[in-house]
Amino acid sequence: MAGKKIYLVGVGPGGERFLTGEAREAITGSQCLIGAERLLSAVERLSPGKNRFALTGAEEIIRRAEAMPEGELTVLFSGDCGFYSGAEKLIPLIQARGWSFRIINGISSLVYFAGLLALPWEDVKVVSLHGREGDIIAPVIYHRKTFFLTGGKTTAAFICAALKQGGLGKLTVHVGERLSYPDERIRSGPAEALAELLFDPLSVALVENPRPLSLSRGNYSMGDDEFIRASVPMTREEVRAVSLAKLRLENDSIAYDIGAGTGAVSCEMALRTRYGRVYAVEQKAEAVSLIERNREKQGLWNITLVPGKAPEALEGLPPADRVFIGGSSGRLEAILAEVLGKNPRCRVVINAITLETLSAAVPLVKKYAGENVDVVEVILSRAVEAGGYHLMRALDPVYIISGGG
C-alpha cells in the first residue's frame, strides 16, 4: 500500500477539451480510472486499455482502491474538486489510510457559465441544491447575482417557480443546460416565464437581482416612518428594538409574528433572520393588505403572509423557534399551547399594554415555556413642538414578557 498514489482530478464542465495539462498527465499515467460513467466516457480517448470502474460513492471508491495493486490511479470528478465536489468525502478516507494523493482542480460550472454569459463572478453567491435542500429566496434577496447548482427534485424550473411564488418572478434567470456538451443550451428570461418550461436535469441557474438588500440592514432598527401605516396599530420603533432583543433571533430562525398588524415587527424579524423564514399571521383584511405592501416596499420576500386567526392559522406551518405575539384576541393560552406543542424549546415574546393581559401572560408563559420568565416595562416619552418649545409627551407603557428557548 505504501506505493499507492491517487489523483483526484476535476475534469471541468465535461469533455476532453476542458482538461488541464496536469489532468491529462494523471489520466494517461494511471493504471486505473474511477468515476461516473459520464466522466469516464469524456476521457475515453486518453485512456485506451485502462481499468475503468463506474463508481461514485466514497466508500465504494475506497474499496476498489484497496483492491488495486500499488501504483497510480485517478478518480474523476465533474467541475472543480474544491467546488461542491464528492472529493470532500473521499479525502479523509484516503488520509486515514496513509496513501499519497494529489488534487488537480478543473474548471467549475460557475466559472464556465459566467464566461458564457460574459459576467464577472467574484461577487456571485453560490448555493448548492444538488442532492440537498436549501433556501432559494434569501440568497437572492441579498445578492446581485446568485448561482444555483441543481439536482434531484430541485430543478431549474423549481427554482424559477419558487422565485415566482415568493414575489420575485420578474427577476432575470439564466439557465445553462448540458454545459460544454454538443447540445449545450442557455435560456434566459423572467423567472415567472421560465417556471413554465422543462429543462435538462444537468442544468445550472444564475439569478440577477439589480436591487439587492444590504446585509447591514438588520444591524439597526427601522424608523416608524419607513412603514405604510393607515389606521392599523403599529408596535413603536423603541418597543420593537427591545422586543427583538428579547427574541434572540438567529440567522436561520423560523419565526412567527402573531397579530402582525402593519408588518413592522415582521419586517425587522426578516432582516435579522436572513436565511430563515418569518410567518406574519393576521386576521384583519386591512392589516393583511398593509403587511403585503410593507413587505414589497422593503423587499423582504422571506416573509410569508398567513391570513387568519391564531391558533387555527398556525396549522400546517413548520414549527417555529421564535414567536412574537403582538395580539392574541383573548386566545393567548391556545396560541402558546400550539406553538410550544410544536416545539417545546421555542422562545416566546409577548407585548401587552393592559395589566389584565400582563397578569394573564406571565403564568401562561411559565406553564408552557418554563419558569425562566422575564418581564420588562418600557416607558417612552417623545418630544412634541408647542409654540416654539419642545415638550416631552408620555406614551402608554408596554410590558414585554419573554420566556423559553
Q: How confident is the model at residue 127 (pLDDT cuts 50, 70, 90)?
A: very high
Long-range contacts of 24-30 (CB under 8 A, 24+ apart): 26/72, 26/74, 26/102, 26/104, 27/74, 27/76, 29/72, 30/71, 30/72, 30/73, 30/74
At residue 219, does pLDDT exceed 90?
no
At residue 404, does pLDDT exceed 80?
yes
At residue 15, does pLDDT exceed 80?
no
Residues 137 and 301: beta-carbon distance below 8 Å: yes
3-state SS, residue 87: helix
Condensed to tens digits (0 to 9), the pLDDT of residues 365-400 reads 999 988 889 999 999 999 999 988 999 999 899 999
* pLDDT over 90 percentage in the chain: 76
Mean pLDDT is lowest, of 131-145, 250-264, 289-303, for 131-145
For residue 263, the model assigns a pLDDT of: 95
At residue 133, does pLDDT exceed 70?
no
Determine the average pLDDT of the residues in 60-78: 91
Contacts of 353 (CB under 8 A, 6+ apart): 396, 397, 398, 399
* pLDDT over 70 percentage in the chain: 98
3-state SS, residue 187: strand
Residues, the chain:
405
Task: Say whether the peptide bond before residue 311 is cis (omega within 30 degrees of 0).
Answer: yes
As given in the structure block, the three cell numbers for residue 61 are 471508491
Determine the average pLDDT of the residues in 235-264: 95
For residue 175, the model assigns a pLDDT of: 98
Determine the average pLDDT of the residues in 150-174: 93
- Full set of structural domains in the chain with CATH: 5-107 (3.40.1010.10), 110-208 (3.30.950.10), 217-404 (3.40.50.150)
Among left, alpha and beta (phi > 0; psi -120 to 50; other), residue 369 is: alpha
Determine the average pLDDT of the residues in 116-142: 86
Q: How confident is the model at residue 174 (pLDDT cuts 50, 70, 90)?
A: very high
Q: How confident is the model at residue 1 (pLDDT cuts 50, 70, 90)?
A: very low
At residue 71, does pLDDT exceed 90?
no
β-pairing, 5-10 vs 100-104, is parallel
d(CA 392, CA 125): 48
At residue 134, does pLDDT exceed 80?
no
What is the per-residue DSSP string for 96-158? HTT-EEEEE----HHHHHHHHHT---TTEEEEE-TTS---SHHHHHH-SEEEEE-BTTB-HHH
Backbone angles phi and psi of 269, in degrees to 5: -65, -45
At residue 110, does pLDDT exceed 70?
yes
Determine the average pLDDT of the residues in 339-362: 95
Q: How confident is the model at residue 58 (pLDDT cuts 50, 70, 90)?
A: very high
For residue 303, the model assigns a pLDDT of: 95
For residue 216, the model assigns a pLDDT of: 81
For residue 131, the model assigns a pLDDT of: 53
Mean pLDDT estimate for the chain: 92
At residue 312, does pLDDT exceed 70?
yes
